[in-house]
Chains A and B, each alone.
Chain A
């Protein structure tokens, strides 16, 4: 068993110094994904690990009229227990479907977003909501869209020697929300994935359309989303089917998840959108 060196930084500044000195440093908040995906009695960790969950700056919640700003070490239980109406509805629903209460007591929003091997349940919903993340390193602080956590090849990416300190979630709401989580285990497995489709239905038009499907990879047709904006939402028959077929055919080239399941989700989402 490899013995790792474990640090307990008390501030963000201390964490950044550690990251600067050791770019390979493994940051651990709740640790449920890192530990839970290892079936062995002894846990394998990187050579150097920093437990950041007790850093107070990373547990703050701020709410303004426009957005909700969460420290990245806010637990999923803490997030879900925010006063009713504070959390955007799709986020509240998705968190309730993640694992179980015991795991949500430990798992954090930052850990959920920073998983190196897959996209967990919150990422597609936060990407649909145009959430932003604050990334900090010794070089400085910057804000980026949550979509920034997806590489060009559709796999997760995270800048090296960087700490995600805050997540800013706009508080506007969509009036069409269709989110489905797949996979039955408490912790993510090969069949775990999330389908999220949101839009604003104006008097007769679809606006701000988004459709994201993610698991080990992420699938989103950002440019095609813009072509759906402005379409009538009472579409039927061939026009409706052509939108479903476009997504189904584009997803078929991805080859990383059950094509039929995606096709039936897309069909249901578009039928509801246009009904």
Chain B
């Protein structure tokens, strides 16, 4: 079947099979390399996308479910101030994730700060628990989340005062 959907601001018109996973279509057909079909069970976070604004596992979605949706992958937000702030916060907190989980952890933090501008530790830990890679210690990650939240609120405050 042919489906139309928007990926990172561009309309796509693709023929997909009913058994295709969305992650495979995005990676193999649209060359979105931040995505990886790894665990296929919603544990590793390597397939995170924003689907109509919600963070979801693209490995758990049949490709046909993308019909008429708006998808944003890590590539779509990579140059944004939000991601720059998170990367700087991770560096400052000494919580640099490994190459395997880096994009997943950044996507999880972006989603967290969109929903909770000042998340408490329990909420941050629950969100980061979605990425099963244990390369970074949770305390440093929570510290990085706090730093990124501060940076984001400072930027918004400055913009409001301009």
Most chain B CB within 10 A, of A2, A49, A186, is at A186
Minimum CB–CB distance for B38 against chain A, Å: 11
Interface residues of B in 50-85 (CB under 8 A from A): 54-57, 59-62, 64-65, 67-68
B19 near A103 with CB under 8 A, answer no
Binary contact track A1-43/B, C-beta < 8 Å → 1, others 0: 1111110100000000000000000001001100110110111
Contact of A1 with B19 at beta-carbon distance under 8 Å, contacts A100-B129, A102-B55, A106-B61 already known? yes
| Complex CA distance for A106 and B57, rounded to whole angstroms | 8
B62 near A31 with CB under 8 A, answer yes
Interface flag for B155 (CB, 8 Å): no
* Residues in B neighbouring A5, C-beta threshold 8 A: 18
Interface flag for B10 (CB, 8 Å): no
* Residues in A neighbouring B126, C-beta threshold 8 A: 100-101
Q: List 28 A-B contacts (CB under 8 A).
A: A2-B19, A3-B17, A3-B19, A4-B18, A6-B18, A31-B61, A31-B62, A32-B42, A35-B61, A35-B62, A36-B41, A38-B40, A39-B41, A41-B40, A42-B19, A45-B19, A100-B130, A102-B48, A102-B130, A105-B55, A105-B56, A106-B54, A106-B56, A106-B60, A185-B41, A186-B43, A187-B41, A187-B42
Size band of the A side of the interface? 20 to 34
Interface flag for A221 (CB, 8 Å): no
Contact of A4 with B19 at beta-carbon distance under 8 Å, contacts A41-B37, A102-B45, A103-B42 already known? yes
Contact of A39 with B40 at beta-carbon distance under 8 Å, contacts A3-B19, A51-B64, A101-B130 already known? yes
* Residues in A neighbouring B41, C-beta threshold 8 A: 36, 39, 185-187
Interface flag for B127 (CB, 8 Å): yes
Most chain A CB within 10 A, of B1, B64, B127, is at B64
Interface flag for B21 (CB, 8 Å): yes
* Residues in A neighbouring B42, C-beta threshold 8 A: 32, 36, 99-100, 102-103, 186-187
| Chain A residues in the interface with B (C-beta under 8 A) | 1-6, 8, 28, 31-32, 35-36, 38-39, 41-45, 49, 51, 53-54, 77, 99-103, 105-106, 185-187
Most chain B CB within 10 A, of A6, A39, A51, is at A6
Q: How many residues of B contact A (CB 8 A)?
A: 31
* Residues in A neighbouring B45, C-beta threshold 8 A: 102
| Complex CA distance for A5 and B1, rounded to whole angstroms | 9
| Complex CA distance for A234 and B66, rounded to whole angstroms | 56
| Complex CA distance for A125 and B57, rounded to whole angstroms | 26
* Residues in A neighbouring B24, C-beta threshold 8 A: 41
A53 near B65 with CB under 8 A, answer yes
Minimum CB–CB distance for A45 against chain B, Å: 6
Interface flag for B20 (CB, 8 Å): yes
Most chain A CB within 10 A, of B1, B60, B61, is at B60
Minimum CB–CB distance for B18 against chain A, Å: 4
